Amino acid sequence: MKSEKWTSSGARTSPTAHNPSPLPVTGIPPTLTVGVEEEYLLVDPVSRQLSTRADKVVREAAEELGDRVTTELTRYQIEIRTEPHTRLADLSEDLRRTRSAVARAAARLGLRIISSGTPVLGQHTPPPLTAGARYAQSLAAFRALDHEQTVCACHVHIGMPDLTTALQVSNHLRPWLPTLIAISANSPYWDGHDTGYDSWRTLTWGRWPASGPPPYFESAAHFESLVDDLIMSGTLLDRGGLYWDIRPSHHVPTLEIRVADAAPTVNDTVVLAAAVKGLAAAALSALQDGRPAPCPAPELLRAAYWRAARDGVRGQGIDLRTSRLEPADAQVARLWNTVLPALIPAETAYVRSARGRLSTAGNGADRQRAAYRRRHSLHDVVDHLITEAIAP
């Protein structure tokens, strides 16, 4: 039976409008697991242009990785997934082995991988789509939206005991999404030019009808009812097409945080995973204590997305508590101050090193632009990303 509908009269705008009931201690997992999905672009190392041979690279890499490597929407893209891990050191090693396997498979075909939210140089429009019934259905339903989706993301999965807990954690994580965009921004270029944004992928991806920040959920019934309505209305093909930046996974018992650009290096991915893991742990602690999740107005949250995607870590961001602009580095400092106490001591080194690198070299977008400034060459940007993708 379909759950009772959620009506617009239940919308929240006050930062403290909702106070969820405290979860029983037994509902909190004693150790959080974290896993990652990464998407890469395939490039020719001579022309630096995108290559359409992703299916061949996937077949090569699958000899070592099995079903942990697959194709994506376009024939330029490759997707991998790690196993779930309780230790960030193990996640890091898994990512290094997986990236290396894909890079070796590409090299055997004379190609390279890069990990960037968008292609640096131009792409064909419409792009060559991967064969398959689902991609054909997507093109039929969403049409030209598929033509500008040669974009790559990094998805972090946090293990959750049940849907209700996952949705309450989602509520607590929503206000942190703009800051996660800022630190992970790695897509300044599109179609051979600088967009002026640190994360152009964020703007491109936001065009989908069920994307961007998720709603504030009152209950599992609220979530199920809304998803059912989106499917019945033809807005989604199925649950796999739910593209909110936080969503309960439809096939594994995790909460999936999908807000980040593909990270240039393994270290960048691990730092993002550390941030998400720490925020999830802090959210679970808040649930145990019965502390409410902040609930900024959806319009303000989307505005904060735009500002974070534009300015990254070196501009200004919107303080969702006051609606005023403030330095982005102040927001990043609050993020780390929340994350660090929630991590085990062995994992804080990842965060502390990230703080130093962000303050000196900036995010991935800053580093792409630095590579361009050396000789004002986009080829240098692609070469930089090739090196970063397999950096030790």
H or E element that contains 158: strand 153-159
CA distances to 4, 210, 312 from 180, in Å: 33, 19, 9
Which pLDDT score is estimated for 29? 61
Task: Report helix, strand or coil for 244.
Answer: strand
Q: E strand or H helix at 388, and its extent?
A: helix 378-389
Single-letter amino acid, residue 56: K
Instruction: Render 272-340 in DSSP notation, one character per residue.
Output: HHHHHHHHHHHHHHHHHHTPPPP---HHHHHHHHHHHHHHTTSSEEEETTTTEEEEHHHHHHHHHHHHG
CB neighbour burial string for 90-100, b if at least 16 within 10 angstroms, e if fewer: ebbebbbebbe
Give the C-alpha separation, 204 to 146, whole Å: 11
pLDDT value of position 133? 77
* pLDDT reported for residue 188: 98
pLDDT reported for residue 164: 95
AA identity, residue 113: I
Structure tokens at 379: 């080829």
Distances (CA, A) of 4 to 1, 221, 387: 9, 7, 52
Phi and psi torsions of 176, nearest 5°: -85, -10
Domain spans in the chain, listed from the N-terminal domain onward: 35-389
What sign results for the dihedral spanned by CA atoms 132, 136, 142, 145? positive
Ranges under pLDDT 50 in the chain = 1-26
Please tell me the CATH code under which domain 35-389 is placed: 3.30.590.20
Tokens of 291: 């502390």
* Among candidate residues 215, 268, 245, the one with its CA nearest the CA of residue 11: 215
279: closest CA among 329, 334, 342?
342
Query: What is the reported pLDDT for 27?
Result: 53
Could you please report the per-residue DSSP string of 78-125? EEEEPPPBSSHHHHHHHHHHHHHHHHHHHHHTT-EEE--SS-SS---S
What phi and psi, each to the nearest 5 degrees, are found at residue 205? -65, -30
| pLDDT, tens only, 153-184 | 999 999 999 999 999 999 999 999 999 999 99
Express each pLDDT in 95-133 by its tens digit: 999 999 999 999 999 999 999 999 999 877 777 777 777
**One-character DSSP codes across 247-279:** EE-SSSSEEEEEEEEPPSSHHHHHHHHHHHHHH
**Interstrand relation of 193-194 and 77-81 (parallel, antiparallel or unpaired):** unpaired
Q: Tell me, what DSSP letter sits at residue 8?
A: G
Q: Which residues pair with 81 in a beta bridge?
A: 37
Query: Strand, helix or coil at 344?
Result: coil
